[in-house]
Structure 1
Amino acid sequence: MKNVHKLFIGTGVLLAIAIGCNKDDIFNELIPETNEQPTTSQVQGYVFKPALAEPTAENVAQLKVPAGFAVNKFAEGLGKPRILAVGSMGQVYVTDREAGTVTMLMDTNGDGIAENSSIVANIKQVHGITLYNNMAYMVAVREVYRAAMNPDGTLGQPQLLINDLPDAGQHPNRTIAFGPDGFMYITVGSTCNSCPEPNPENATILRANADGTNRKIFAKGLRNTIGFGWHPQTSELWGMDHGIDWLGDNEQKEELNKITQNADYGWPYIFGEGKYNPSDRPKGDTTYAQYLAKTTLPSLTYQAHSAPMGMVFYTGSQFPADYQNNAFVAMRGSWNRSAPVGYNVVRVRFENGQPAAFEDFLSGFLVNNNKAHFARLVGLAVHTDGSLLVSDDTNGVIYRVAYTTP
């Protein structure tokens, strides 16, 4: 690969990026608290996108899961499946943002493979979906809809609840869920990699009534939190936030945050364990140190550029008991890194209601010496039978992980 050098010069900032180099990262920075001194930062950045392989039987067979677990294709040929939700009858809803559809899948004979598939909603750019009080709530870029769930699992005519969410920009992947408090929570990503946002609702989690009224910012400084959920025992809200790109192979790490009302998680000025972002200085007379003092830092971090997507707490009855109340996170996989990472599902071990460690759960989607992949993972859901479902929007497959050795 040829070296491509880019030089970006901004107010008091020098950022040099060499793409495609074989050398180790360089991240040398001198970041003063104010603009009275120059800021200098040098970073080596990379673009490496593994080639796309097919989800053949041989590739699926070599997937890695802990002892006692097995993987199979729950459904395939689905276009670009994104977010998943499971109803009480075992019906699986899956969104396809590009097609603008919600599809319902049914495994009628209980063999772990969906036999029936039907489109139950058509909504332009639909992405997030959640089920609450026998209604399906769906979110697109700027709109939130809800539809009644019929006895057979199909959906009634979607009703528009919200039509003025912020524009998307770089991150159009809205997600939605209802908390134990009965409020609707909506994630709204940033419009950019790193920048001050003119719309205060970007880079936030919003909270509203179930009918969409009384919308307010619940937490801010979250660059792009797609996967989030409430711990089943503590009812505390947790979410995985995407780190900033172009800070080198190993920065910015992905963040697992305990999300609390009115908290600020630092983006775009503070990242990781309290580091200063050289390209964006806090506004006005605020120093980095002052902004850091009011920033809530992550509880755990994960390998930079892994791209966390769906997140779900396990409350099923199929997996071993020590999986109860742990979380799973789908890592979509890197592109802004010299060697690929992610392309897997990780388990987040919780101890006494707090996250303790990440560990691999489902991996092996990188093949050919990590030069190719056959899945980029997005949505997660626990099926009514206790298995774990995960969607891939590159080859149009939903995978099922089941515990087969009691």
Structure 2
Amino acid sequence: MLASLVVSCKDGDSLWDSIIPETDEEPTSTQIEGYVFYPAVQGATDANIAQLRVPAGFKINKFADGVGKPRILVADANGHIYASDREAGIVMLLTDANNDGVSDGVKTVATIKQAHGLSLHKGKMYIVAVREVYVADVNGDGTLGVPKILIDDLPDGGQHPNRTIAFGPDNKMYISVGSTCNSCPEPNPENATMLRAEEDGSNRKIFAKGLRNTIGYAWHPETNALWGMDHGIDWLGDDEQKEEVNQIAQGADYGWPYIYGEGKYNPGDRPKGDTTYKQYLQKTTLPALTYQAHSAPMAMAFYSGAMFPGEYKNDAFVAMRGSWNRSEPVGYKIVRMHFENGKPVRFDDFVTGFIMNNNKAHFGRLVGVTVHKDGSLLFSDDTNGVIYRVSYQ
């Protein structure tokens, strides 16, 4: 499928000004090719898993199989693993009692329509759906008490209903609320933001804005700085918009929908009123690092375990779900984000091989990432209902 937009161009201007002028006094002109390409789906067979690639010394296996459509993962200090299934509207509990690296079974511990984001905080489980936040006590065996509602008026979901939730070093609740659209001015100021509230859900405020859809975020273990990966705008071409790594700070504006990437103008949306692109750019916080467009970053977890080599400590793992509107697929992998002196500096592949048959098929679109009690890395695939485990020998 090919989509394009072509409008008039004024000759004689610079490329930047002629394509995207600062004001409406001149025509906007751009041509964009867009593609829809979903690789065919294969099963997570032993043969397919055997060709997954991890760095030397690591191994990968199925931690759990046939567990619906697992999305976000969290782990506690007792070895309990929790997974949400948004489509089924449940939270699952998985355990590995004999420590063989394979789950002994799965149990539904909460039923909440469109449950997605999960966070463990002070002996309680916090669960966010589209418009609601719930809290439940965590029992000694890992099961949950009856969920109680804390918030019931988050913005509507629209295109991005997958809320995520976490608690910061300040013991505040952080909720990522994506945009309702690909690219548009939002009528509700809480869309395309990071919200912050008290532990009981009260005193909710916009912490940062201009974030199209930051599903994965976490605090650096040493600096306590909040880092997140934002999904780029679709339909700007194969290599635009790149995915952004942002240091998310209180009061900052990250540009969406008007400014993207390294300070580029979005031709599809102009800042409101008399504000020019240049003026909006001046108040926009630009990303610290970028990644291949359309890779679709999902959950993010800093590594704080003891199993992996010391060089991995305080680096982050990110699940790249994979593209759907690019001529050649990208993503479909777990990547390692290297941090130096508290700042992200580069990405390396960590788990690859989910794309097969000369880029025409796949057997995993990845979502959740968490570090298990034993230091192994767990990640989820909601295409084939698998939770994978990466360990180091």
What TM-score, normalized by structure 1, do the two folds share? 0.94
Percent identity reads: 68
Deviations 1:333-374 (A, max 9, x none): 001100000000000000011111011001100011110000
Structure 1 CA distance, aligned partners of 2:146 and 2:18? 55
Task: Give unmatched runs, 5+ long, in structure 2.
Answer: 11-15
Structure 1 CA distance, aligned partners of 2:151 and 2:2? 44
Structure 1 CA distance, aligned partners of 2:6 and 2:264? 21
Q: Are the counterparts in 2 of residues 63 and 362 from structure 1 also a CA contact under 8 Å? A: yes
Q: Which residue of 2 aligns with 1:367?
A: 356
Q: Which residue of 2 aligns with 1:209?
A: 198
Q: Which residue of 2 aligns with 1:131?
A: 120
Aligned partner of residue 240 in structure 1, secondary structure: strand
Q: Does 1:141 align with 2:139?
A: no
Alignment equivalent of 1:358, drawn from 325, 342, 347: 347
Alignment of 1:96-135 (within 5 A): 96-135=85-124
Q: Which residue of 2 aligns with 1:304?
A: 293
Deviations 1:16-64 (A, max 9, x none): xxxxxxxxxxx99711100011101101111111000010101101100
* Displacement of 1:13: 10
What TM-score, normalized by structure 2, do the two folds share? 0.97
* Displacement of 1:130: 0.6
Alignment equivalent of 2:40, drawn from 28, 40, 51: 51
The one-letter code of the counterpart of 2:354 is: F
Alignment equivalent of 1:181, drawn from 145, 170, 175: 170
Structure 1 CA distance, aligned partners of 2:18 and 2:94? 51
* Displacement of 1:236: 0.1
Q: Are the counterparts in 1 of residues 5 and 30 from structure 2 also a CA contact under 8 Å? A: no
The one-letter code of the counterpart of 2:239 is: N
Q: Are the counterparts in 2 of residues 28 and 41 from structure 1 also a CA contact under 8 Å? A: no
Q: Does 1:383 align with 2:372?
A: yes
Q: Which residue of 2 aligns with 1:332?
A: 321
Q: Which residue of 1 aligns with 2:13?
A: none
The one-letter code of the counterpart of 1:265 is: Y
Name the CA shift for 1:69/1:5 in 2 (closer, same or farther; >3 Å).
closer
The one-letter code of the counterpart of 2:139 is: N
Q: Which residue of 2 aligns with 1:248?
A: 237
Aligned partner of residue 225 in structure 1, secondary structure: coil
Structure 1 CA distance, aligned partners of 2:18 and 2:114? 40
Q: Are the counterparts in 2 of residues 29 and 42 from structure 1 also a CA contact under 8 Å? A: no
Structure 2 CA distance, aligned partners of 1:308 and 1:351? 21
Runs of 4+ aligned structure 1 residues displaced above 3 Å come to: 3-9
Task: Give unmatched runs, 5+ long, in structure 1.
Answer: 15-26
Q: How many residues were matched structurally?
A: 388
Task: Report the RMSD for the aligned CA atoms in angstroms.
Answer: 1.5
Q: Does 1:88 align with 2:77?
A: yes
Q: Does 1:281 align with 2:275?
A: no
Q: Which residue of 1 aligns with 2:61?
A: 72
Structure 2 CA distance, aligned partners of 1:35 and 1:78? 52
Structure 2 CA distance, aligned partners of 1:156 and 1:241? 33
The one-letter code of the counterpart of 1:389 is: L
Structure 1 CA distance, aligned partners of 2:77 and 2:224? 21
Q: Are the counterparts in 2 of residues 306 and 332 from structure 1 also a CA contact under 8 Å? A: yes
Deviations 1:141-178 (A, max 9, x none): 00000000011110000000000000000001100000
Structure 2 CA distance, aligned partners of 1:326 and 1:146? 30
* Displacement of 1:210: 0.2
Q: Which residue of 2 aligns with 1:223?
A: 212
Deviations 1:235-272 (A, max 9, x none): 00000000000000000000000000000000000000
Name the CA shift for 1:72/1:341 in 2 (closer, same or farther; >3 Å).
same
* Displacement of 1:89: 1.1
The one-letter code of the counterpart of 1:183 is: K
* Displacement of 1:290: 0.2
Q: Are the counterparts in 1 of residues 3 and 34 from structure 2 also a CA contact under 8 Å? A: no
